[in-house]
Amino acid sequence: MADWMLNRRVLPWLVTLGAFLMWEGVVRTFQIKTFILPAPSLVAQWEPILQHSLQTLMTTLVGLALAIGFGVLLGLAVGASEKIYAGLYPLMVAFNSIPKVALVPILVIWFGIGTVPAILTAFLISFFPIVVNIATGLATVEPELNDLMRSLGANRLTVLRKVGLPRTLPYFFAALKVAVTLAFVGSVISETVAANAGVGYMMMVAGSRFEVPLVFAGLVVVGAMGIVLYQAFEWLERRLTFWAVRG
């Protein structure tokens, strides 16, 4: 058990370090031009992107929070009612099929250039997995459990609170770990199209100036923020759904 925990904590760092060392070695060995592929030692430009990364993190967290609130409520409604499922599910699937980058110009027309389109893009691209997983968790509750609770005098709300919500927790955290990565995608996409701050905006400006190391620095920072939030949700999942983990 101790060896497994050690591998779980150390191995990701070793693999990541090895990947960066390989990247550095390939660039230096083959003398690849900086404007094509900069070495990691040139990418480490943290000071210029600090302000932009905080902006992207803020928009992503706000958009994700909206997606969680809306997604949980809609997922509970869809999973608890066959009529709501039949009425809304086709519309949600059709909406999710629309590339969200195509909605950014519309959001700019409605809300102008800035933070709001980025928040809404993060929300629109990340709420669907939450809705689907919450609805799936409710829909897969064994009928025997519902019948048992009702035979004990529980009403529909009590059944939902005692059986439905605990059953959906593993599905919810699985969706949350997907949604957090999608939220970053939405924020950066919007920032590259219509923003005056954020990592996406910084990368677009840096690319126009052929400052390729700064572009790669933006990619690394977005990836790092995604990993941190993913790990935070995974830690919370282990604390709240330990009963659902086997082995």
pTM of the model: 0.88
At residue 36, the 3 state secondary structure works out as coil
87's enclosing H/E stretch is helix 82-97
- Which one, of 217, 215, 221, lies nearest residue 203 by Cα? 215
- Reply yes or no on whether the pLDDT at 71 is more than 90: yes
Q: Give the Cα separation of 91 and 247 in Å (integer).
A: 39
Apex 181 CA angle, 25 and 178, nearest 5: 120
Q: So what's the pLDDT on residue 166?
A: 83
| pLDDT tens profile 189-232 | 999 988 888 999 999 998 998 889 999 999 999 999 999 999 99
- Which one, of 85, 96, 111, 117, lies nearest residue 178 by Cα? 96
- Reply yes or no on whether the pLDDT at 170 is more than 70: yes
